[in-house]
Amino acid sequence: MEQFKTKRSIVFLIFLICGSMAFAGNNTKVLDVYRGRIPVLDGKISPGEYEDATRFSGMEDWTREFSENSDSLDLSIKAWVKHDGSNLYFAFDVTDDVIYGIDIPDGYLM
C-alpha cells in the first residue's frame, strides 16, 4: 500500500510540474520515475550518481517559445529523474548558446 501511495504522489507531482503539457494536444509524453539512491546535492552530476534514474533527452520536438533552432549544439538537454520515496530528484545537463537574462537585450522577453 505504501508503494502505491508513493507512486501516486509522484505521478501527481509530475502532473503539477508538467501541467502545461495538458495543452500540448497530441504531443504529450509519459515519464516513468523509479526509486533510486539519494544523490549528493552539490550542483554536480558525478559519474554513476544518476545511473539508477530515468533519463530523458533531446529538444527536437519541444515547442519553442522565444526562438527557433534545429541544432543540438544550440539547444539540447540531458536530464535524469528519480525518487527516494519522499523526494523527487532532477539533474539537468543543458547545452544552450544563449543564456536568457544575460546574453539577450533588456526587454527582449517583454
Domain map (residue ranges) of the chain:
2-63+70-96
- Residue 12's φ and ψ, nearest 5 degrees, are -65, -45
Instruction: Give residue for cell 509524453.
Output: 29
Q: What is the pTM of this model?
A: 0.59
Q: What is the pLDDT of residue 63?
A: 62
Q: Residue 94 has what pLDDT?
A: 84
CB 44 within 8 A of CB 95: no
Return d(Cα 39, Cα 63) in angstroms, integer: 30
The predicted pLDDT at position 95 comes to: 82
Residue in 86, 104, 83 with CA at minimum distance from that of residue 36:
83
Contacts of 94 (CB under 8 A, 6+ apart): 76, 77
Q: What is the pLDDT along the chain (110 residues), one digit of tens a residue?
A: 555 455 555 555 565 565 544 555 565 678 899 999 999 999 899 999 999 999 988 766 666 666 666 666 677 889 999 999 999 999 999 887 766 656 566 655 54
Biggest alpha carbon–alpha carbon distance for the chain: 53
pLDDT of residue 60: 66
